[in-house]
């Protein structure tokens, strides 16, 4: 039940965020994605740490919320997810999903 | 160089950014200049993120050495589990892909009034902001009998490269049954779990090749980082091989005898077959010489922008900074450098700056297939930086979990190096 509520918070934020400027989202997304790049390769490469490219913004936001609620175990992702607001999760998820389309072959 | 940087930026942010980017470029008449001094993790990360976050900033990175060998993961090299080459990284991608002006030279001095960085070879670089990442220096005055010359006989191996090779060669030529004496430094020092990871991985090497050998840790402290995790692993993997003597037992480290290869404590003198002395530390020499250091020996900074509290316009990131609860680790240097780069970009271009997200993650090897990690988040509070959340591996974890963490550590290293030295698209 908690999961459903959390995900619907994220879904709600997507709608609210439609009012933010694209430039603000881009700057915010880039700064938040920089945090992800300390561990995740943002070139589509994979290893013991899975890639976060190729996912929809909804999937990424849902994964972050699952780490935050301990539903998915990883103390590193939990620390990250706890430090982000719902709005920041949505911004970074959108940015990463858009970045995926720009990756070189 | 300008068009390359711009292309890279457009490529990074996608077509949706174009409309917003145009006016900003047109509005800027001349490029702002940022000079980054030091090409370790903090410096390289700061240079890269300054370059990607604002195409209107001209970034120059000054570093004397042609490449950088990471001290983190160098304990795996000591254990024979990886090459030193695999831990060595160049600056070509930062120059070619990100348009950073990389200069291999030393910096003579910063003039904060004229806003210039003077190079040893003569030229002066003018700047709007300067980021300084000088890392650590060793406080030889604090340890009798041990100085720069002594490091050629008894290595510290706390800056990776020739020192690490020397220590590895000494371990290789040591006879089975010898004692490896490791002197662990007082707080604060670079990478709190690393001396104990080193003991673990040298024990692994001994177990494979010199099983009668022993390790003695003479500590300047009475406790150490993740102590329960290490003591548990030493009992499981290396029973009877590692002995740790805290300061309260020995009375503290008093002197090093290089000729005898021995360590004198208040109670006893310990003779080594191979010795590794990790001296007390302070901010790198450059910080000492340019008025960036307070009585603590480290550089006080603003917790949001990493601007020096002593020298306006000069930002300090990485091990040299005195950043509240943040430990001196590579991950912290990378995290601070990003926060600093975004703050500088915002100040110079008027773009929006998010509140900084500061983290530390450490992967620590207890054996090749047994690794632990911790993750900490921080936030700026009342002029300093405080821990918010701290998650650490537990003693009772399964072998499978530990094995997975060891695999994750390898993957992390590759991603982190790409993030810092810029091999990847981002």
The model's pLDDT over A3-55, given as tens digits with 9 standing for 90+, comes to: 444 444 444 444 445 456 677 777 889 999 999 999 998 776 667 788 898 89
Kindly determine whether residue B53 and residue A76, on different chains, have CB atoms separated by under 8 Å.
no
Per-residue pLDDT band for B19 (boundaries 50, 70, 90) equals very low
Q: Which of A18, A25, A38, A52 best tests the B interface by mutation, with the highest count of B CBs <10 A?
A: A38
Cα B197 to Cα B182: distance, rounded to the nearest angstrom: 11
| Out of A47, A99, A102, closest to residue B414 by CB | A47
Contact list in B for residue A88 (CB cut-off 8 A) is 354
The pLDDT score that the predictor gives to residue B424 is 54
Stretch among A27-31, B49-53, B151-155, B338-342 having the lowest mean pLDDT? A27-31
pLDDT surpassing 90 at residue A100: no
Contacts of residue A34 in chain B, CB cutoff 8 Å?
A: 49, 338, 342
Nearest to A76 among B49, B354, B373 (CB): B373
Is B45:B89 a contact under the CB 8 Å cutoff? no
* Per-residue pLDDT, B63: 98
Q: Is it the case that residue A1 has pLDDT exceeding 80?
A: no
How high does pLDDT run on average in chain B?
92
pLDDT > 70: percent of chain B: 92
Query: With contacts defined as CB-CB under 8 Å, which chain A residues touch B229?
Result: none
Q: List the helix and strand counts (H, then E) for chain B.
A: 12, 24
What's the pLDDT at B346? 94
DSSP string, B316-335: E-STTEE-TT--B-HHHHHH
pLDDT of A80 reads 96
- Quick one: pLDDT at residue B27? 42
Can you tell me the mean pLDDT for B195-211?
Answer: 98
Query: pLDDT by residue (tens digit) across B375-386?
Result: 999 999 999 999
A101 — pLDDT class (breaks 50, 70, 90): low
B389/A82 CB distance under 8 A: yes
Q: Which residues of A touch B368 (CB under 8 A)?
A: none
pLDDT of residue B192: 98
pLDDT at residue number A43: 73
**Could you tell me the pLDDT band of residue A102, with boundaries at 50, 70 and 90?**
low
Residue B14: its pLDDT value, please? 37
**Do the Cβ atoms of B415 and A104 come within 8 Å?**
no
Report, as an integer, the average pLDDT of B169-187: 98
Contact B354 A32 (CB under 8 A): yes
Amino acid A42: pLDDT: 78
* CA–CA separation, B418 and A25 (whole Å): 25
Confidence of residue B111 (pLDDT cuts 50, 70, 90): very high
- pLDDT, average across residues B341-363: 90
Q: Which residue of chain A has the CA closest to B335?
A: A35
Residue B100 scores a pLDDT above 60: yes
Tokens of B421: 């030295």
| pLDDT tier at B29, thresholds 50, 70, 90 | low
Among candidates A31, A39, A83 on the partner chain, residue whose Cβ is nearest the Cβ of B361: A39
Q: Can you tell me the mean pLDDT for B221-242? A: 98
Rounded mean pLDDT of B131-138?
98
pLDDT at B278: 98
Cβ contact (<8 Å) for A75 and B412? no
Closest CA to B193 of B155, B221, B170, B165: B221
Whether the predicted pLDDT of B28 surpasses 80? no
pLDDT at A19: 52
A27-31, B27-31, B247-251, B368-372: which range is least confident on average?
A: B27-31
State the residue for tokens 């650490």: B392
Among A26, A33, A41, whose Cβ lies nearest the Cβ of B418? A41
State which residue of chain B sits closest to A37, comparing Cα positions: B419
B338 with A101: Cβ contact below 8 A? no
Q: Which residues of A touch B (CB under 8 A)?
A: 21-24, 26-28, 30-35, 37-45, 47-49, 75-76, 78-80, 82-84, 88, 98-99, 101-104
Instruction: Flag the least confident range among A46-50, B15-19, B248-252.
Output: B15-19
> Sorting pLDDT into bands at 50, 70 and 90, what band is B16?
very low
Question: Taking Cα atoms as reference points, which of A50, A46, A48 lies closest to residue A67?
Answer: A50
Contact A45 B424 (CB under 8 A): yes
Are the C-beta atoms of B73 and B196 separated by less than 8 Å? no
**Helical segments of A1-105, H only:** 2-16, 22-36, 57-68, 75-83, 86-100
- For the four alpha carbons of B6, A60, A28 and A33, in that order, the dihedral sign comes to negative
For residue B68, the SS3 value is strand
Question: What is the pLDDT averaged over residues A78-99?
Answer: 94
Average pLDDT, integer, range B204-224:
98
For residue B426, what pLDDT is reported? 44
State pLDDT tens for residues B277-317. 999 999 999 999 999 999 999 999 999 999 999 999 999 99
Average pLDDT rounded to a whole number, residues B96-116: 95
* ipTM score for this prediction: 0.87
Q: Across the interface, which of A38, A44, A88 has its CB nearest the CB of B419?
A: A38
Q: What is the pLDDT confidence band of residue B353, given thresholds at 50, 70 and 90? A: confident
Strand segments (E) across B278-355: 281-283, 299-300, 314-316, 321-322
Please compute the mean of the pLDDT values over residues B34-40 and round it to a whole number: 98
């Amino acid at each position: 039940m908690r999961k459903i509520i959390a995900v619907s918070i994220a879904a709600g934020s997507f709608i609210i965020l439609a009012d933010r400027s694209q430039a603000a989202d881009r700057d915010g997304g880039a700064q938040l994605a920089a945090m992800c790049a300390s561990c995740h390769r943002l070139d589509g490469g994979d290893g013991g740490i899975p890639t976060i490219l190729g996912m929809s913004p909804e999937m990424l936001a849902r994964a972050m919320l699952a780490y935050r609620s301990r539903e998915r175990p990883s103390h590193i992702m939990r620390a990250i997810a706890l430090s982000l607001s719902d709005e920041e999760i949505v911004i970074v998820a959108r940015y990463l999903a858009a970045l995926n389309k720009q990756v070189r072959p | 160089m300008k068009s390359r940087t711009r292309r890279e930026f457009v490529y990074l942010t996608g077509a949706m950014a174009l409309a917003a980017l145009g006016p900003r470029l047109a509005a800027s008449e001349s490029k702002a200049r940022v000079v980054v001094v030091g090409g370790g993790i903090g410096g390289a990360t700061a240079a890269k993120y300054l370059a990607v976050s604002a195409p209107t900033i001209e970034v120059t990175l000054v570093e004397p050495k042609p490449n950088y060998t990471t001290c983190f993961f160098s304990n795996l090299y000591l254990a024979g589990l990886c090459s030193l080459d695999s831990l060595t990284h160049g600056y070509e991608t930062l120059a070619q892909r990100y348009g950073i002006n990389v200069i291999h030279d030393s910096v003579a001095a910063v003039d904060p009034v004229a806003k210039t960085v003077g190079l040893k070879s003569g030229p002066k670089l003018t700047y709007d902001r300067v980021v300084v990442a000088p890392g650590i220096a060793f406080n030889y005055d604090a340890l009798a009998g041990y100085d720069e010359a002594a490091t050629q006989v008894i290595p510290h191996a706390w800056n990776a490269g020739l020192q690490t090779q020397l220590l590895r060669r000494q371990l290789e030529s040591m006879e089975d049954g010898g004692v490896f004496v490791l002197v662990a430094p007082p707080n604060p020092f670079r990478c709190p779990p690393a001396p104990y990871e080193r003991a673990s991985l040298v024990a692994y090497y001994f177990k494979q090749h010199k099983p009668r050998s022993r390790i003695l840790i003479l500590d300047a402290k009475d406790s150490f980082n993740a102590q329960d995790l290490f003591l548990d692993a030493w009992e499981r993997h290396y029973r009877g091989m590692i002995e740790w003597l805290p300061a309260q037992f020995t009375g503290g480290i008093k002197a090093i005898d290089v000729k005898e290869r021995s360590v004198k404590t208040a109670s006893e003198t310990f003779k080594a077959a191979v010795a590794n002395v990790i001296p007390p530390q302070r901010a790198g020499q450059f910080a000492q010489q340019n008025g960036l250091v307070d009585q603590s020996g480290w550089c006080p900074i603003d917790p949001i922008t990493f601007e020096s509290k002593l020298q306006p316009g000069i930002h300090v990131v990485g091990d040299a900074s005195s950043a509240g609860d943040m430990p001196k680790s590579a991950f912290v240097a990378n995290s601070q450098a990003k926060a600093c780069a975004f703050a500088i970009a915002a100040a110079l271009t008027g773009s929006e700056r998010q509140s900084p997200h500061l983290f530390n993650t450490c992967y620590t090897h207890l054996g090749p297939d047994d690794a632990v990690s911790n993750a900490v988040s921080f936030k700026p509070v009342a002029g300093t930086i405080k821990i918010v959340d701290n998650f650490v591996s537990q003693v009772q974890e399964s072998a499978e979990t530990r094995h997975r963490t060891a695999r994750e550590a390898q993957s992390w290293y590759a991603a982190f190096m790409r993030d810092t030295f810029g091999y990847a698209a981002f």
